[in-house]
Structure 1
Amino acid sequence: MAQPQFFLQPLAAAVCVACYSSAVAANEHIPVQTMAPIVVTSAAGNDANGLIVRADPKQPIQPVPATDGADYLQSIVGFSSVNSGAGTNGDVTFRGMFGSRIKILTDGTENLGACPSRMDSSTSYISPESYDRISVIKGPQTVQYANTGSAATVIFERNPEQFDQDKKYRGQASVLMGSYGRLDQNVEAAVGDENKYIRLNTNRSVSDSYQDGDGRTVPSDWERWNADLALGWTPDEDTWVELTGGKADGEAVYAGRMMDGSKFARESLGLRVEKKNVTDVIKKIEAQVNYNYNDHVMDNYSLRDFKPTMMMPKETGTNVTRKTLNARMAVTQEWDKFELITGVDTQNNEHTIRKTDTDRNIPYQNLPRSKDMEFQSIGGFGELSYQVGDNNKLVSGLRLDQVKVDAVQSNQERKETLPSAFFRFENHHPEYDDGKTYIGLGYVERMPDYWELFSPKSGNGQLNTFKNIDTEKTLQLDLGYQHAHGKFNSWASAYAGLIQDYILTTYLPTGDMGMLEAHTRNVDATIAGAEAGIGYQFTDAIQADVSAMYAWGENTTDNTPLPQISPLEARVNLRYIQDNYTLGAYWRLVDSQNRISEREGNIVGYDHNKKSAGFGTLSLNGTYHVNEGVDLSIGVDNVFDRTYTEHLNKMGNAGVGLAATEQFNNIGRNYWARVSMKF
């Protein structure tokens, strides 16, 4: 995976590609494309009066454009990531919540990781630029998807292709080069006519290990690729049928883990059918079925020089897989001022594992796979909207899930019936310069996920974790507003919640070596926080916005802070926009975090014994509209080469030469250049 070090090559290469692309564009009569500035913060919501945030993942973002889903979501206010030390494959958090409290969907389906320590979270298998939009529904304010997330529901979506007689193809491509051998290539192409199409999304991303602000190398290199193919049929404007298939793989070196990820293979297959305007009342019927298979390997020898330790004296590897089958059907009905969406969905998945037998020196490849979990769920939902006059809207929903989990190896079984519901009032205030507000109350019960049932050594003090961890119950109030008046706009979202039987992971030393092991228990908790932003257009060319996010949590059982919550953060974005170019400055300010609970957290990370230090980083960017459909973007992240670490970063690992008593640092000054072309 060695790549040449970065000096001026990316900028020179980008200019060459841009010049070549502009010549091609001039000959092909490409229609004019509107240039968008680099996105450095996705701020105000634009649906449900600000409750739902939407983002365009095809636009470049700063810091350096994202490699996976977690990387991109960090550009949306409220999101952070538990980083393990690779330059990719972080584990996203929202408002301090983690794991299955955040529902991650791609084109309406869920693809779950397999690693017992979440080395391959759901977002690890997502290439953001392959999607057309990202929607974030904050809080428990929808019931339309299986096993609803209590903190947020995140949906990565692609649009159906539409062609006419004049143009029967479209596409876009981008190349990014950056410091430390970073090289991304992304291609999306589609051809078709009024009744059918074929679309290809493919990308590759590679990078060497980076250096922090002090010039110290942090082992973190990676390589990943994705390829997805879609065949669509649109016999009329109200019918859409799409068959999809995809494959992917990758590898990543981790500065904060004892093992690296040497395989992140994905296979997927899906069928989706949608019929609109069936009758005057039935406006849409949609159905889909999706199959995903993830095959993940972690080991301590293939991507690093093996060094025996007391905990791992021999070369060892673990191979885990998860097969997931999702199915969903929903009907949208409209009459008078009502809209009702009803449906059913199911999920079945199974998990297998095999490990190197170090006692007999048998590699994992020569051992059979052993199934350790089977999961089945079926749920039904109804979501009703009622338009109260011209300016008010009521939205409510009810859902019931029947979940069954089998611990195959110990011959144990759990069955749970999980209700969820919400009620929301949306209000439009035209008399106050087009102000919009919402307030909603939601309740959701969450089944402990695979990582909470199978990875910890005990549950509520009992060795049988599987049987002794209770379901988690969240009651949360969400409210917010957005407002625009002339050159000024503002928005805010706030929440407060009560969580009964919050699932908390505590790390305790065990054995003579004092190795920390995960133990899980239920506690009661209170959470609260907000995201807010203001923007102002000083002139036709100069714009600025400021956003901030803060999350707070208290373990009310022990009267201690909830762990693994990011500190107060503010983002300042200044842009200068002209017809053919934009210039931007992005200043990120992060406070220290002194609300910590030592050795408590989640299955990926835990709080350390001292508060984290605050920091600030400045980044600069620019975009030039070279020609019709061709944009060149350049950026410098962490301009002053600041040495810093995020609060959620894991500790370093001695196996890659880092101190195991300190958190690893983030990347220092980082240059990048990106060319994108549409045709």
Structure 2
Amino acid sequence: MAQPQFFLQPLSAAICLACYSSTSIAAQLDHDTAQLAPIVVTAQLNNDANGLIIHADPKQPIQPVPATDGADYLQSIPGFSSIKSGGTNGDVTFRGMFGSRIKILSDGTENLGACPARMDAPTSYIQPESYDRISVIKGPQTVQYANTGSAATVIFERQKPQLSKDKNYLGQASVLIGSFGRLDHNIEAAVGDEKKYIRLNANRSESNSYQDGDGHTVPSAWERWNTDLALGWTPDDDTWIELTGGKADGEAEYAGRAMDGSQFARESLGLRFEKKNLTDVIKKVEGQVNYSYNDHVMDNFRLRTPPMTHDMMTHQMLPNPSEMQVTRRTLNSRLAMTSEWDKLSLITGIDTQQNHHAGSMKSMMMNMPLATNMKFHSYGAFGEFTYQLNDAYKLVSGARIDQVKIDALKLNDERKETLPSAFIRVENQHPEHHAKSYIGLGYVERVPDYWELFSTAHGNTGMSKPTFNDLDTEKTLQLDMGYQHERGAFSSWVSAYAGLVNDFILLSYHHHPTTGMGGHSHGSSFSAGAKNVDAVIAGAEAGIGYQFTDAIQADLSTMYAWGEMKDNHDPLPQIAPLEGRFNLRYVQDKYSLGLLWRAVAKQDRINLNKGNIVGYDIAESKGFSTLALNATYKVMNDVDLAVGIDNVLDKTYTEHLNKLGVGVDGQVGTEQFNNTGRNYWARISMKF
């Protein structure tokens, strides 16, 4: 894998020393300033909209070991799980929902993966620590972004650096080391003044394959890097223009796939602007255009020994290397305006997305050149308003319409869809009862995505060939509600939902005939076919917290998702089981100590060989629990040290959401692979 030889390792060490020295001097000059110790994030996070919207700070360390990609970080937020394939690049799920039902945005734009089996899910291209904030909007409760997510909308965002003549630079850096050769470097630096700035985000992460609790090695090594550069101009307090560009690449071994990812190349370019206070009514106009190009290569020979095949000419067993290259070019644009009249706030806008997918395949049997096989175009308009009914109640509502056209070039076919979505929500606060709550109803239609359209063997008709217009759009009507209470040392919260999903897109795995050269039968493959079913979903996330003393605090959280098909009452597949987490902390001015106990119930609600593009149910899963410990210490102002031990008892366990493990012949086997055994890590971070 080609990497830029930019300063990451040597400069990170230099920055550590420089920051250590500068903060040491600053501490001596300003030793009266008290700063509390940092903590490792293990509990419910900050929230908004009375608990509907979750906010997280990705620059804080989390446990288990600080995240390597977006899916890793989201698992620390109740309701999220991940279908793992190895050590990195898992595919996130929320409330049992998967794929394009979860809208993943970075700085307001969508960067789609290319792999037909979602080896490079959108979160694979996101390094959480390079962002300033993560926001999660649960359910279909916003319409501000193209092709609305029915399960959740997740936004990774960077904020404009606050620079001045007195402080014309700022930044932070961190280095993490851990078991199994884990080594991370992260650097963020901005230089400028009130009018202009340049910001660099750069990071690199690597790890060897880990060992499970029994000491068995699980193929899971990775190596990845990201760089993003931003040029900003703020000619006045109400104007902001920013030009961004980025590059990235990586490679990953997968325990649960027949191929590894030998390239995850990303290129991106974006331009955004924001103008505030145009009139007394028009408070803000914002717009952005973003281009991304993902070039992904998967193969079975660069990171593993290729499988053997029988050569018909020589009658010998020979290596059979093969690779697939897939690319995705995505162009997003958005223009929005915020207006305010007295108690009413209104956001209106338009957005578009165009993405082109291409693929190639090389092996002993074929050599297909890279060619475009799908073109996707969407155009949308939206309006979302907030009205303050009185001091206690707020009404939030919105609607949007999307026009979608998909050209299937390899099938010489196309489809067009008009997709409506809307929601209405009431939020209320009762200060006298120390409580706040919300209740909302949302509706969204989702067109089958690339993976469901192109990676499945048949649709509703059962035809043994790829279908394109056979799958209906998925229609979700969902009720969301939540309640928060805080009084004295006690706090509690709950978020619940119930929904009807008509034409839910379900994937069923079984043997399908395959064809070789000339269309002749070439055996069969165990692959997925997609069809529509009607389903009912429900579940909740909840937690309680208690401050025993000024130093000791504890909280307990739980999450549960449930789904069922309406026609035969079979469970929806690939839903994470009931899970609970208990956190105990001891916090002092300079240091903190933490304990995280995670308990996961068995999952006996399965639907054999049914699932999604990445995984499917193969058996009931066993329950398990793990214990993790962490500690932090404020070395000095702006220099923090965090250490942790994950899976303290070195247990051998398997997550229910898990790709199949690899057999002795190097191909995907019949059992799930185990999670990481005992894992030690340490992270030092500093601001400057």
TM range (shorter): over 0.9
1:442-476 CA distance string (max 9 Å, x none): 00000100000000010111334211000000000
Structure 1 match to 2:573: 563
Find the aligned partners of 2:362 and 2:42 in 1 and give their Cα distance.
44
**C-alpha displacement of 1:16:** 12
Q: Please give the alpha-carbon distance, in whole angstroms, between the structure 2 residues aligned to 1:170 and 1:571.
A: 36
Match in the other structure for 2:283: 283
Quick one: which of 465, 471, 474 aligns to 1:472? 474
Q: RMSD between aligned alpha carbons?
A: 1.9
Give the 3-state SS of the residue equivalent to 2:88 in structure 1.
coil
Residue 356 of structure 1 pairs with residue 362 of structure 2: yes
Kept in 1, the 8 Å contact 2:453–2:466? The answer is no
Q: Using the TM superposition, give the Cα deviation of residue 18 of structure 1 relative to its aligned residue in structure 2, in angstroms.
A: 7.3
Instruction: Sort the Cα spacing of 1:656 and 1:103 in 2 relative to 1 into closer, same or farther, 3 A.
Output: farther
Counterpart mapping for 1:352-431 below 5 A = 352-359=358-365, 362=367, 368-431=369-432
Task: For 2:153 and 2:408, locate their aligned partners in 1 and report how far apart those are by CA, in whole Å.
Answer: 27
Distance in structure 2 (CA, Å) of the matches to 1:297 and 1:480: 43
For the Cα contact (< 8 Å) 1:219–1:656, is it kept in 2?
Answer: no
Q: CA deviation at 1:359?
A: 2.3
State the partner residue of 1:22: 20
Q: Relative to 1, partners in 2 of residues 1:383 and 1:310: Cα closer, same or farther, differing over 3 Å?
A: farther
Residue identity matched to 2:580:
A
Q: Deviations over 1:224-269 (max 9, x none)?
A: 0000000000111111100000000000000010000000000000
Query: Hey, what does 1:525 align to over in structure 2?
Result: 535
Decide which of 561, 573, 587 is 1:577's aligned counterpart. 587
Aligned residues of 2:37 and 2:587 also touching (Cα < 8 A): no
- Indicate conservation of the 8 Å contact 2:46/2:56, yes or no: no
Amino acid at match of 2:428: N
1:674 and 2:683 correspond = yes
SS of the residue 2:510 aligns to? strand
Change (3 A) 1:649 1:577: same
Three-state SS of the structure 2 residue aligned to 1:410 is coil
TM-score, with length taken from structure 2: 0.93
For residues 568-622 of structure 1, what are the alpha-carbon distances to aligned partners after superposition, in whole Å with 9 as ceiling and x for unaligned?
00000000000100000000000000000000000000000x2100000000000
Amino acid of the residue matched to residue 417 of structure 2? Answer: E
* Structure-2 residue corresponding to 1:159: 159
* Uncovered stretches (5+) of structure 2, i.e. residues with no partner: 2-11, 312-317, 514-521
Selected match of 1:499 from 490, 501, 515: 501
Provide the residue aligned with 1:138 in structure 2. Answer: 138
**Aligned partner of 1:635 among 641, 644, 669:** 644
Assess if the C-alpha contact under 8 Å between 2:36 and 2:589 holds in 1. Answer: no
1:166-205 CA-partner distances (Å, limit 9, x unpaired) = 1100010000000000000000000000100000000000
Alignment check: 8 A CA contact 2:16 2:173 kept: no
Matched, 1:342 2:343: no
2:230–2:242 contact (8 Å) kept in structure 1:
yes
How many residue pairs match? The answer is 658
Match of 2:305 in 1: 305
- Quick one: distance in 1 between partners of 2:39 and 2:523? 53
Matching of residues 241-320 of structure 1 within 5 Å: 241-308=241-308, 314-320=320-326
Residue 557 of structure 1 aligns to a residue whose secondary structure is coil
Partners of 1:656 and 1:508 in 2: CA distance: 22
Q: Which whole-Å CA distance do the structure 1 matches of 2:399 and 2:18 have between them?
A: 55
Which whole-Å CA distance do the structure 1 matches of 2:570 and 2:264 have between them? Answer: 37
Secondary structure at the counterpart of residue 254 of structure 1: coil
Structure 1 residues 310 and 569, CA, compared in 2 at 3 Å: closer, same or farther? farther
**Displacement of 1:430 after TM fit?**
1.3
Alpha-carbon distance in structure 1 between the residues aligned to 2:132 and 2:659: 32
Alpha carbons of 1:529 and 1:310: their partners in 2 closer, same or farther (altered >3 Å)? farther
The gaps in structure 1 that reach 5 residues or longer are: 2-13
Divergent runs of 4+, >4 A? 14-21, 28-34, 309-313, 511-514, 655-659
Residue equivalent to 1:5? none
* Greater mean alpha carbon deviation, residues 22-31 or residues 375-384: 22-31
Q: 1:24 to 1:336 in 2, by over 3 A?
A: closer
In structure 2, how many angstroms separate the alpha carbons of the residues matched to 1:419 and 1:483? 35
Deviation at 1:25, TM superposition (A): 2.0
In the alignment, the residues of structure 2 paired with residue 25 and residue 430 of structure 1 have an alpha-carbon distance, to the nearest angstrom, of 41
Corresponding residue for 2:662?
Answer: 653
State the SS of the aligned residue for 1:167.
coil
CA contact (8 A) 1:18 1:626 kept: no
Q: Structure 1 residues 581 and 656, CA, compared in 2 at 3 Å: closer, same or farther?
A: farther
TM-aligned CA deviation for residue 409 of structure 1: 1.6
Q: Distance in 1 between matches of 2:576 and 2:382?
A: 33
Match of 2:121 in 1: 121
2-structure distance, mates of 1:273, 1:35: 37
SS in 1 for 2:72: helix
With over 3 angstroms needed to count, the CA separation of the structure-2 counterparts of 1:309 and 1:50, relative to structure 1, is farther
Q: Is the 8 A contact 1:140 1:151 kept in 2?
A: yes
Distance 2:137 2:415 in 1: 29
- The residue identity in structure 1 corresponding to 2:671 is E
Aligned partner of 2:335 in structure 1 is: 329
Structure 1 range deviating more: 526-535 or 653-662: 653-662
Mean Cα displacement is larger for which, 610-619 or 311-320?
Answer: 311-320
Deviation at 1:558, TM superposition (A): 2.7
The counterpart of 2:490, out of the listed 465, 488, 491, is 488
Distance 1:513 1:67 in 2: 39
Shift of 1:22: 3.2
Question: What is the aligned partner in structure 2 of residue 112 from structure 1?
Answer: 112
Q: How far is the alpha carbon of 1:401 from its aligned partner?
A: 0.2
Counterpart of 2:673 in 1: which secondary structure? coil
2:39 partner amino acid? P
Residues 529-576 of structure 1: per-residue CA shift (max 9 Å, x gap)? 000000000000000000000000001123200000000000000000
> Superposition pairs for residues 133-212 of structure 1, below 5 Å?
133-212=133-212
From 603, 606, 609, give the equivalent of 1:599. 609
Aligned pair partner of 2:545 in 512, 515, 535: 535
Tell me, in whole angstroms, the C-alpha distance in 2 between the residues paired with 1:627 and 1:310: 64
The Cα of 1:327 is off from its aligned counterpart by: 0.1
Q: Which amino acid aligns with 1:39?
A: V
Residue 49 (str. 1) matches residue 50 (str. 2): yes
Alignment of 1:453-472 (within 5 A): 453-460=453-460, 461-462=462-463, 463-472=465-474
Task: Determine the C-alpha separation between the residues in 2 that align with 1:430 and 1:628.
Answer: 36
Q: TM-score, normalised by structure 1?
A: 0.94
Which has the higher mean CA deviation after the structures are superposed, 140-149 or 307-316? 307-316
- Is 1:446 paired with 2:452? no
**In the TM superposition, what whole-angstrom CA distance separates every residue of 1:302-335 from its partner, at most 9, and x where no partner exists?**
0112232689961000000000000000000001
Q: CA deviation at 1:526?
A: 0.1
Alpha-carbon distance in 1 for matches of 2:523, 2:679: 39
Tell me how far 1:20 sits from its aligned partner.
7.8
Equivalent position of 1:10 in the other structure:
none
SS of the equivalent of 1:46 reads strand
State the shift of 1:358 in Å.
2.2
**Contact 1:304 1:656 survives alignment (8 Å):** no
> Which letter does structure 1 place at the counterpart of 2:162?
Q
1:228 aligns with 2:228: yes
Q: Partner amino acid for 2:24?
A: A
Q: 1:659 to 1:237 in 2, by over 3 A?
A: closer
645-654 or 494-503, which moves further after superposition?
645-654
